[in-house]
Chain A
Amino acid sequence: NAGVTQTPKFQVLKTGQSMTLQCAQDMNHEYMSWYRQDPGMGLRLIHYSVGAGITDQGEVPNGYNVSRSTTEDFPLRLLSAAPSQTSVYFCASQSGGQGPYGYTFGSGTRLTVV
Protein backbone atom coordinates (compact mmCIF):
# COMPACT_ATOMS: atom_id res chain seq x y z
CA ASN A 1 0.00 0.00 0.00
CA ALA A 2 1.20 3.51 -0.80
CA GLY A 3 2.13 5.62 2.16
CA VAL A 4 4.88 6.46 4.60
CA THR A 5 6.92 3.57 5.97
CA GLN A 6 8.96 3.91 9.15
CA THR A 7 11.46 1.41 10.52
CA PRO A 8 12.04 0.14 13.09
CA LYS A 9 8.78 0.20 15.02
CA PHE A 10 10.52 -0.21 18.37
CA GLN A 11 14.12 0.41 19.48
CA VAL A 12 16.00 0.45 22.76
CA LEU A 13 19.33 2.26 22.86
CA LYS A 14 21.95 2.80 25.49
CA THR A 15 23.01 6.35 26.31
CA GLY A 16 25.68 7.48 23.87
CA GLN A 17 24.79 5.05 21.10
CA SER A 18 23.90 6.31 17.64
CA MET A 19 21.24 5.08 15.28
CA THR A 20 19.20 6.02 12.24
CA LEU A 21 15.43 6.02 12.03
CA GLN A 22 14.32 5.27 8.52
CA CYS A 23 11.45 6.93 6.67
CA ALA A 24 10.40 6.22 3.09
CA GLN A 25 7.42 7.34 1.02
CA ASP A 26 6.30 6.15 -2.39
CA MET A 27 3.93 8.99 -3.25
CA ASN A 28 6.55 11.27 -4.85
CA HIS A 29 5.87 13.87 -2.16
CA GLU A 30 8.21 16.84 -2.08
CA TYR A 31 7.79 17.79 1.56
CA MET A 32 8.86 15.47 4.39
CA SER A 33 9.19 16.09 8.10
CA TRP A 34 10.03 14.45 11.41
CA TYR A 35 8.07 14.98 14.62
CA ARG A 36 8.49 13.67 18.11
CA GLN A 37 5.54 12.94 20.37
CA ASP A 38 5.87 13.27 24.11
CA PRO A 39 3.15 12.87 26.74
CA GLY A 40 1.19 16.08 27.26
CA MET A 41 3.13 17.97 24.58
CA GLY A 42 1.57 16.98 21.30
CA LEU A 43 3.90 16.61 18.34
CA ARG A 44 6.91 18.87 17.86
CA LEU A 45 8.77 19.40 14.61
CA ILE A 46 12.39 18.23 14.59
CA HIS A 47 13.54 18.71 10.99
CA TYR A 48 11.89 19.08 7.63
CA SER A 49 12.75 19.00 3.94
CA VAL A 50 11.06 20.77 1.03
CA GLY A 51 12.80 18.60 -1.57
CA ALA A 52 15.83 16.44 -2.32
CA GLY A 53 19.00 18.12 -1.12
CA ILE A 54 17.16 20.70 1.01
CA THR A 55 16.67 20.38 4.77
CA ASP A 56 16.05 22.76 7.62
CA GLN A 57 15.57 22.78 11.37
CA GLY A 58 12.27 22.70 13.13
CA GLU A 59 11.35 23.45 16.70
CA VAL A 60 13.53 20.86 18.51
CA PRO A 61 16.51 19.97 16.26
CA ASN A 62 19.28 19.52 18.82
CA GLY A 63 20.80 16.03 18.90
CA TYR A 64 19.37 15.06 15.50
CA ASN A 65 20.67 15.17 11.94
CA VAL A 66 18.85 14.62 8.65
CA SER A 67 19.68 14.37 4.98
CA ARG A 68 17.55 14.10 1.85
CA SER A 69 19.51 12.50 -0.98
CA THR A 70 16.39 11.19 -2.75
CA THR A 71 12.75 12.24 -2.90
CA GLU A 72 11.69 8.96 -1.32
CA ASP A 73 13.90 8.77 1.77
CA PHE A 74 14.33 11.05 4.78
CA PRO A 75 16.35 9.34 7.55
CA LEU A 76 16.70 10.81 11.03
CA ARG A 77 20.02 10.25 12.80
CA LEU A 78 20.58 10.33 16.52
CA LEU A 79 24.25 11.15 16.98
CA SER A 80 24.66 10.26 20.68
CA ALA A 81 21.44 9.10 22.26
CA ALA A 82 20.29 10.64 25.54
CA PRO A 83 17.41 9.64 27.84
CA SER A 84 15.68 12.92 26.90
CA GLN A 85 15.29 11.52 23.39
CA THR A 86 13.02 8.76 24.62
CA SER A 87 9.90 9.44 22.58
CA VAL A 88 7.70 8.30 19.74
CA TYR A 89 8.91 9.59 16.39
CA PHE A 90 6.66 10.22 13.41
CA CYS A 91 7.61 10.90 9.84
CA ALA A 92 5.17 12.74 7.58
CA SER A 93 5.06 13.68 3.92
CA GLN A 94 3.05 16.03 1.75
CA SER A 95 2.80 16.75 -1.95
CA GLY A 96 4.00 20.18 -2.94
CA GLY A 97 0.94 20.57 -5.10
CA GLN A 98 -1.57 20.05 -2.31
CA GLY A 99 -2.81 22.56 0.20
CA PRO A 100 -1.44 22.51 3.72
CA TYR A 101 -3.67 19.61 4.64
CA GLY A 102 -2.45 16.63 2.68
CA TYR A 103 -0.09 15.26 5.32
CA THR A 104 0.41 11.49 5.46
CA PHE A 105 1.94 10.13 8.66
CA GLY A 106 3.89 6.95 9.23
CA SER A 107 2.93 4.59 12.04
CA GLY A 108 5.78 5.75 14.26
CA THR A 109 8.97 4.51 15.91
CA ARG A 110 8.92 4.10 19.67
CA LEU A 111 12.44 4.79 20.98
CA THR A 112 13.64 4.19 24.52
CA VAL A 113 17.06 5.39 25.63
CA VAL A 114 18.35 3.81 28.84
Chain B
Amino acid sequence: GNSVTQMEGPVTLSEEAFLTINCTYTATGYPSLFWYVQYPGEGLQLLLKATKADDKGSNKGFEATYRKETTSFHLEKGSVQVSDSAVYFCALSDRDTGRRALTFGSGTRLQVQP
Protein backbone atom coordinates (compact mmCIF):
# COMPACT_ATOMS: atom_id res chain seq x y z
CA GLY B 1 0.00 0.00 0.00
CA ASN B 2 0.85 3.67 0.00
CA SER B 3 2.52 5.46 2.88
CA VAL B 4 4.18 8.78 3.67
CA THR B 5 6.83 9.34 6.31
CA GLN B 6 7.67 12.79 7.64
CA MET B 7 10.24 13.98 10.13
CA GLU B 8 8.83 14.34 13.60
CA GLY B 9 8.44 17.75 15.12
CA PRO B 10 8.20 20.17 16.51
CA VAL B 11 10.76 22.04 14.47
CA THR B 12 11.73 25.28 16.19
CA LEU B 13 13.57 27.93 14.19
CA SER B 14 14.46 31.56 14.54
CA GLU B 15 13.07 34.04 12.04
CA GLU B 16 15.03 34.11 8.76
CA ALA B 17 16.48 30.63 9.31
CA PHE B 18 16.53 27.96 6.58
CA LEU B 19 13.85 25.31 6.75
CA THR B 20 13.89 21.70 5.61
CA ILE B 21 11.13 19.22 6.40
CA ASN B 22 11.90 15.74 5.12
CA CYS B 23 9.28 13.60 3.43
CA THR B 24 9.66 10.16 1.88
CA TYR B 25 6.99 7.95 0.38
CA THR B 26 6.15 4.48 -0.82
CA ALA B 27 3.54 3.99 -3.50
CA THR B 28 2.29 1.13 -5.64
CA GLY B 29 1.82 3.36 -8.66
CA TYR B 30 3.17 6.70 -9.89
CA PRO B 31 1.84 9.21 -7.38
CA SER B 32 1.31 12.93 -7.38
CA LEU B 33 2.88 14.61 -4.34
CA PHE B 34 1.67 17.51 -2.22
CA TRP B 35 2.44 19.67 0.74
CA TYR B 36 -0.48 20.96 2.77
CA VAL B 37 -0.36 23.53 5.57
CA GLN B 38 -2.68 23.80 8.54
CA TYR B 39 -2.77 27.00 10.56
CA PRO B 40 -4.17 26.86 14.10
CA GLY B 41 -7.90 26.26 14.18
CA GLU B 42 -8.19 25.97 10.41
CA GLY B 43 -8.52 23.29 7.78
CA LEU B 44 -5.78 22.18 5.40
CA GLN B 45 -4.65 24.38 2.53
CA LEU B 46 -2.70 23.20 -0.47
CA LEU B 47 0.78 24.72 -0.34
CA LEU B 48 2.40 23.18 -3.42
CA LYS B 49 2.30 20.13 -5.63
CA ALA B 50 4.30 18.08 -8.14
CA THR B 51 2.86 15.52 -10.51
CA LYS B 52 5.91 13.90 -12.13
CA ALA B 53 9.56 13.14 -11.47
CA ASP B 54 11.90 16.15 -11.26
CA ASP B 55 8.98 18.59 -11.07
CA LYS B 56 9.52 21.40 -8.59
CA GLY B 57 6.50 22.77 -6.80
CA SER B 58 6.76 26.25 -5.31
CA ASN B 59 4.55 28.73 -3.50
CA LYS B 60 5.04 31.56 -0.96
CA GLY B 61 8.82 30.96 -0.91
CA PHE B 62 8.43 27.22 -0.22
CA GLU B 63 9.82 24.67 -2.65
CA ALA B 64 9.85 20.89 -3.01
CA THR B 65 11.25 18.69 -5.79
CA TYR B 66 9.78 15.32 -6.77
CA ARG B 67 12.70 12.87 -6.52
CA LYS B 68 11.60 9.51 -7.88
CA GLU B 69 15.00 7.87 -7.42
CA THR B 70 15.00 8.59 -3.67
CA THR B 71 11.18 8.58 -3.29
CA SER B 72 11.37 11.93 -1.55
CA PHE B 73 9.64 15.31 -1.61
CA HIS B 74 11.41 17.48 0.96
CA LEU B 75 9.99 20.91 1.77
CA GLU B 76 12.40 23.87 1.90
CA LYS B 77 12.26 27.59 2.52
CA GLY B 78 15.22 29.90 2.53
CA SER B 79 14.04 32.34 5.20
CA VAL B 80 11.13 31.52 7.47
CA GLN B 81 8.86 34.06 9.11
CA VAL B 82 6.81 33.93 12.31
CA SER B 83 3.70 33.71 10.12
CA ASP B 84 4.95 30.37 8.75
CA SER B 85 4.29 28.73 12.11
CA ALA B 86 1.86 25.92 11.34
CA VAL B 87 1.61 22.17 10.83
CA TYR B 88 2.87 20.89 7.48
CA PHE B 89 1.62 17.66 5.92
CA CYS B 90 3.19 15.74 3.08
CA ALA B 91 0.70 13.72 1.04
CA LEU B 92 0.39 11.62 -2.08
CA SER B 93 -2.40 10.72 -4.44
CA ASP B 94 -2.16 7.51 -6.42
CA ARG B 95 -3.43 8.24 -9.89
CA ASP B 96 -3.65 4.56 -10.73
CA THR B 97 -6.70 4.12 -8.52
CA GLY B 98 -10.11 5.62 -8.99
CA ARG B 99 -10.38 6.68 -5.38
CA ARG B 100 -8.59 10.04 -5.67
CA ALA B 101 -7.84 9.64 -1.98
CA LEU B 102 -4.91 11.37 -0.34
CA THR B 103 -2.46 9.47 1.87
CA PHE B 104 -0.99 11.80 4.50
CA GLY B 105 2.10 11.84 6.60
CA SER B 106 1.75 12.44 10.32
CA GLY B 107 2.48 16.15 10.06
CA THR B 108 5.37 18.32 11.25
CA ARG B 109 4.75 21.29 13.50
CA LEU B 110 6.91 24.32 12.72
CA GLN B 111 7.41 27.02 15.35
CA VAL B 112 9.21 30.17 14.24
CA GLN B 113 10.44 32.47 16.99
CA PRO B 114 11.02 36.22 16.48
Residues of A close to B49: CB separation below 8 A: 101
Whether B104 pairs with A90 at a CB distance below 8 angstroms is: no
Whether B42 pairs with A107 at a CB distance below 8 angstroms is: yes
Give A84-114 as 1s and 0s: 1 = Cβ < 8 Å from B's Cβ atoms.
Answer: 0000001010100001110101111000000
A53 interface residue (CB < 8 Å to B): no
Q: How far is the CB of A87 from chain B (nearest CB, A)?
A: 14
B82 interface residue (CB < 8 Å to A): no
Chain B interface residue bracket vs A? 20 to 34
Whether B104 pairs with A43 at a CB distance below 8 angstroms is: yes
What's the A-B contact tally at a CB cutoff of 8 Å? 61
Residues of A close to B114: CB separation below 8 A: none
Q: How far is the CB of B23 from chain A (nearest CB, A)?
A: 11
Number of residues on chain A facing chain B (CB within 8 A): 26
> Of B41, B93, B104, which contacts A42 at CB under 8 A?
B104
B98 interface residue (CB < 8 Å to A): yes
Give B72-105 as 1s and 0s: 1 = Cβ < 8 Å from A's Cβ atoms.
Answer: 0000000000000000010001010011111011
Whether B44 pairs with A90 at a CB distance below 8 angstroms is: yes
B34 interface residue (CB < 8 Å to A): yes
Q: A40-B106, A42-B106, A99-B51 are in contact. Are A48 and B101 (CB under 8 A)?
A: yes
Whether A103 pairs with B98 at a CB distance below 8 angstroms is: no
B58 interface residue (CB < 8 Å to A): no
Q: How far is the CB of A94 from chain B (nearest CB, A)?
A: 6
Whether A33 pairs with B44 at a CB distance below 8 angstroms is: no
Residues of B close to A58: CB separation below 8 A: 99, 101
Query: Taking beta carbons and an 8 Å cutoff, which residues of A are in contact with B?
Result: 4, 31, 33, 35, 40-45, 48, 50, 56, 58-59, 90, 92, 94, 99-101, 103, 105-108
